Amino acid sequence: MKTYIKKLFILPGLAAVLGLLTAGRVLGQSFTNLYNFTARSDASPFTNSDGAYPSSALVLSGNTLYGLAGDGGSAGNGTVFAINTDGTGFTNLYSFTPSSGAISSNSDGANPFASLILSDDTLYGTAFDGGSAGYGTVFAINTTGTGFTNLHTFTGAAEGGGKADSSLVLSGNALYGTAELGGNSGNGMVFKVNTDGTGFTNLHGFTGGAGGSFPQAGLILSGSTLYGTAGFGGRGGNGGNGTVFSIKTDGTGFTNFYRFTGSNDGSYPQAGLILSGSTLYGTAEFGGSNYGSAGYGTVFAVNTNGTPFAVLHTFTATDPETLANSDGANPSASLFLSGNTLYGTAFDGGSAGSGTVFAVNTNGTDFTNLHSFTGGRGGSGPQAAVILSGNALYGTAEFDGSGESGTVFRLSLGPLGPLGAPQPYILEINASGTNLVINASDGQSGETYKTLVSTNLGLPLSQWKPLATNVLNASGDFTITLTNTVNRNAPQLFYVLQVQ
């Protein structure tokens, strides 16, 4: 029998019914590494069977998650993969082909760092390197792994831009995105290309300085307006800490409607935005109150007309040696919005200095560190947004895992209540027969618990079953005898809710 302590949100009304909880416990969730990417070969081109270092968000269709690994695969240039939400059925759908020559060119692209988008049965994405000029590509591939098509090869010139590490947005038969380089002055561009590969257009070339430069994030579309971030620039000369901009889908009306100061508001926004009503939400990788441009990042909100701008959370300083803190640091991924809750990842910080998954309300209240990555086999360095499906968040960690090449993870939230609600213990137990054996170390010594049990963490608490023994003392080991109200067919996974 294997037992893990877990914690869970609980609705305030149910908390009142079940009793008061001991305050001050640290929030945790049911975390699972669904897949560990395998170790790469020791010599260039650093190949493996499945891919390595996933730095992009996942896309969900039915029970299947699709994603990109920026490295590894049969040529060491990255892969497109699929995996079921329960961790089964991992499939390497496509390995990008070998590169050659001084410019590391190939036919399809290399090093896909940005997230995929899905339309019907077609996945669209960008590759940062490769293609005939070595500046990357825009590609399409079927969800079965067939029909890979290089839609556009970046040339590095003003017409083509280059080095796209952003996700795409689809409107009709047109794909819109950003390239970090290229454009009229080499500071990056906003581009458009049709889904059949025709009609590539440089909609806007970033000018640097006050005009912003080096966009690394995908765009979002509202009506005929695209919104995005540029990681640098925003002030005259070579200065600036990044911008939030808008542009029409025909390339007109470009506006930098917010310029980061590098102070309390943050600096270097590397992630895309999300839109709710007239409010855009995003993250800045550095900056924040009391830290200046060398800070640890912020979560922000800004109206689509540029005012007001609000900092929802400033990440705290990390230990200079361990990079650890309480909340995370240096967020470089987009947010995910559900109701009034924003979910995100921070690349550094947390209890082990290996990054966090966090939640915060859209008004900036109730920031919660949902999970601290532990490094090593637990994964580290989440660079991508999480997605929410049912009661679980799914995402990728770029590094570590058992193969030291990154992971795909699930963070089960259970029956959700508001952030900041009381947090009872959840014990996740693999049990056999009619008994659940609980070790003293699983509880708090001397505390007494009222106990409910479920075999499904996603069920509402009203459907959890009472145990035969309702009052337990955790000062020593104890055994719970399951009643007939619980399916006792062995073996199975039980979630035991302990509420004092």
In this structure, the answer to whether residues 20 and 34 fall within a common structural domain is no
| Alpha carbon distance 454, 464 (integer Å) | 5
- In 3D space, the residue among 163, 34, 43, 58 whose CA is nearest the CA of residue 383 turns out to be 58
In this predicted structure, the answer to whether residue 484 has a pLDDT above a threshold of 60 is no
157 or 38: whose pLDDT is higher?
38
Region of poorest pLDDT, from 212-221, 395-404, 421-430: 421-430
Each as own residue / partner, the long-range contacts of residues 58-62 (CB below 8 Å, 24 or more positions apart, any chain) are 58/115, 58/384, 58/387, 58/394, 58/395, 58/396, 58/408, 59/115, 59/116, 59/117, 59/118, 59/123, 59/387, 60/85, 60/387, 60/389, 60/394, 61/118, 61/143
At 496 the pLDDT is 59
Sign of CA dihedral 67, 68, 72, 77: positive
In a domain, 462, yes or no: yes
**DSSP helix/strand/coil, 305:** coil
* Residue 461, amino acid: L
In this predicted structure, the answer to whether residue 19 has a pLDDT above a threshold of 70 is no
Q: Could you tell me the pTM of the whole model?
A: 0.80
Residues in the chain, how many? Answer: 500
At 39 the pLDDT is 97
At 273 the pLDDT is 97
Q: Are 178 and 191 in contact (CB under 8 A)?
A: yes
Region of poorest pLDDT, from 247-261, 359-373, 394-408, 432-446: 432-446
What digits encode the pLDDT tens for the residues 95-149? 999 999 999 999 999 999 999 999 999 999 999 999 999 999 999 999 999 999 9
Sign of CA dihedral 186, 188, 190, 193: positive
Exposure letters 446-478 (e unless 16+ CB within 10 A, then b)? eeebbbbbbeebeeebeebbebebeebebeeeb
In a domain, 417, yes or no: no
Final residue belonging to a domain, choices 391, 412, 433: 412
In this structure, the answer to whether residues 435 and 300 fall within a common structural domain is no
In this predicted structure, the answer to whether residue 491 has a pLDDT above a threshold of 90 is no
Average pLDDT taken over every residue of the chain? 83
In a domain, 251, yes or no: yes
| Alpha carbon distance 203, 198 (integer Å) | 15
Q: Are 117 and 168 in contact (CB under 8 A)?
A: yes
Final residue belonging to a domain, choices 390, 412, 434: 412
CA 115 and chain centroid, separation: 10
Query: Domain total for the chain?
Result: 2
**DSSP helix/strand/coil, 30:** strand
In this structure, the answer to whether residues 18 and 34 fall within a common structural domain is no
Q: Are 311 and 321 in contact (CB under 8 A)?
A: no
In this structure, the answer to whether residues 327 and 429 fall within a common structural domain is no
| Alpha carbon distance 362, 349 (integer Å) | 22
Q: Are 292 and 263 in contact (CB under 8 A)?
A: yes
| Alpha carbon distance 272, 54 (integer Å) | 17
In this predicted structure, the answer to whether residue 4 has a pLDDT above a threshold of 80 is no
At 24 the pLDDT is 25
At 317 the pLDDT is 94
In the numeric block, the tokens 């590391």 are attached to 104
* Residue 281, amino acid: Y
Final residue belonging to a domain, choices 384, 412, 440: 412
- What angle (nearest 5°) sits at the alpha carbon of residue 154, between those of residues 152 and 160? 105
In this structure, the answer to whether residues 19 and 38 fall within a common structural domain is no
In this structure, the answer to whether residues 249 and 391 fall within a common structural domain is yes
Domain carrying residue 454: 3-25+423-499
User: At a CB cut-off of 8 Å and minimum separation 6, what does 134 contact?
Assistant: 99, 103, 104, 105, 156
In this structure, the answer to whether residues 172 and 293 fall within a common structural domain is yes
| Token representation of residue 292 | 């200046």
In this predicted structure, the answer to whether residue 9 has a pLDDT above a threshold of 90 is no
First to last CA, the chain: 24
At 427 the pLDDT is 52
| Other Cβ atoms within 10 Å of 223 Cβ, number | 8
**Average pLDDT of span 435-441:** 54
In this structure, the answer to whether residues 485 and 389 fall within a common structural domain is no
**DSSP helix/strand/coil, 158:** coil
| Residue 422 banded pLDDT, cuts 50, 70, 90 | very low
Supply the CATH number for residue 279's domain: 2.120.10.60
What digits encode the pLDDT tens for the residues 297-346? 999 999 999 999 999 999 999 999 999 999 999 999 999 999 899 999 99
In this structure, the answer to whether residues 78 and 120 fall within a common structural domain is yes
Q: Are 53 and 70 in contact (CB under 8 A)?
A: yes
In a domain, 418, yes or no: no
- In 3D space, the residue among 219, 167, 179 whose CA is nearest the CA of residue 56 turns out to be 167
In a domain, 94, yes or no: yes
In this predicted structure, the answer to whether residue 286 has a pLDDT above a threshold of 80 is yes
At 494 the pLDDT is 55
**Average pLDDT of span 70-96:** 97
In this structure, the answer to whether residues 339 and 437 fall within a common structural domain is no
Provide the 8-state DSSP code for 394. E
In this structure, the answer to whether residues 459 and 361 fall within a common structural domain is no
In this structure, the answer to whether residues 376 and 465 fall within a common structural domain is no
Region of poorest pLDDT, from 208-212, 267-271, 483-487: 483-487
**Average pLDDT of span 189-210:** 95
Exposure letters 91-129 (e unless 16+ CB within 10 A, then b)? bbbbbbbbbeeeeebbebbbbbbbbbbeeeebbbbbbbb
- Percent of the residues in the chain that have a pLDDT greater than 70, as a whole number: 76
At 236 the pLDDT is 67
